[in-house]
Structure 1
Amino acid sequence: MFVLKTNDLKRIFQELDKNGDGLLSAAELSWLLESIGGVHFSLQELESSLGKSCLNFDEFLLFYDSITKQGGGGNGEAVPADGQDQGCKEEDCDLVEAFKVYDSNGDGFISAEELQSMLSRLGLWDEMTGKDCRGMISKYDTNFDGVLDFEEFKKMMLHTSS
């Protein structure tokens, strides 16, 4: 998974903090994990794992850091578009996992609709900002098919996160 910047994480935190108390409850955190990664924990399991029932923003940053570092081992599934599933660099394995999250229909490509859906779930999509997912995709769509394959996604993520 690519690394989000602190400002993006702050926006996600504020979006998830529905009651505005400056804390994310285990329920709010559970919703995030289920929404973006399909990870299901009972509230008791999540609280036990966290060691508490809520996280402030600094704790949320530490939590995010810990889950992004854990995602890099690969899981034996095929890598989209390049067919390599073993011996990938940690960064590539992380990108494969991120690609799978964005490619919600599992067809091996990320469409403008899938990109907008994920940005919305992360709280990074605001229709008022005028962001155009088709335009974002076209910037990295080197074969002009209107979608991103894994290599195009990888170039986009490495450019974005650098």
Structure 2
Amino acid sequence: MYPLTTYHLHQIFNKLDRNKDGLVSIDELMSLLTRLNLHAKRAELELLVGDDKAFNFFDFLFFYQTLNNIIVQEDRDQIKEGDLEFVEDDLRKAFGVFDLNGDGFISDEELRIALGRLGLWDEKSCGQDCMQMIGVYDTNSDGLLDFEEFKEMMSMDSLESC
């Protein structure tokens, strides 16, 4: 997967920080997880966030890196040869989330809209970033991601570089 840079993480942090106090609260974090259809208990998040009940940007970076390392390791541990068909099925579903017009390709515009709907980027300001993200895995240089390119982007080898 295309690694998120500190710049991208700062943009996400600013989007999550709805009251602009320089902190991401548990409520703000739960709002993101809900939009991503991930469910976490408040008590679990409180353990991760600590006594302050909110992240500053540097805590947020550490949180992201820690979760990313855990997820990559869990994914690696869970995938067995017989599970590959399930993984591909899940990837097709994920691909469909971004392929908004159903043409079998993800354009930079579709990526921008999908990320905007998730509240991860301002739909108007991430156009160049979205083109760059697609460009990293666009092996045939057509400006679009097909399913095979998307699959490569989501592969374990790519996730390890995050």
**TM-score bucket (shorter structure):** 0.5 to 0.7
Q: Which residue of 2 aligns with 1:17?
A: 17
Q: Which residue of 2 aligns with 1:111?
A: 106
Distance 1:64 1:135 in 2: 21
TM-score of the two chains, using structure 2 as the length reference: 0.63
Q: Which residue of 2 aligns with 1:41?
A: 40
Equivalences, count:
143
Q: Which residue of 2 aligns with 1:79?
A: 87
- CA spacing shift, 1:79–1:55, aligned 2, 3 Å: same
Greater RCO (Cα-Cα under 8 Å, separation 6 or more): 2
Distance 1:136 1:3 in 2: 9
Q: Is the 8 A contact 2:112 2:130 kept in 1?
A: yes
Q: What's the CA shift for 1:154?
A: 2.7
Q: Unpaired runs of 5+ in structure 1?
A: 82-95
Q: Percent identity?
A: 30
What amino acid sits opposite 1:127 in the alignment? K
What amino acid sits opposite 2:106 in the alignment? S
Q: Unpaired runs of 5+ in structure 2?
A: none
- CA spacing shift, 1:49–1:100, aligned 2, 3 Å: farther
Within a 5 Å distance, the mapping from 1:115-134 to structure 2 comes to 115-120=111-116, 121-127=118-124, 131=128
What amino acid sits opposite 1:51 in the alignment? G
Q: What's the CA shift for 1:124?
A: 2.7
Q: What's the CA shift for 1:126?
A: 3.2
Q: What's the CA shift for 1:21?
A: 0.4
More helix by share: 2
Task: Tell me which stretches of 4 or more aligned residues in structure 1 moved more than 4 Å.
Answer: 99-103, 128-139, 155-158
Q: RMSD between aligned alpha carbons?
A: 4.1
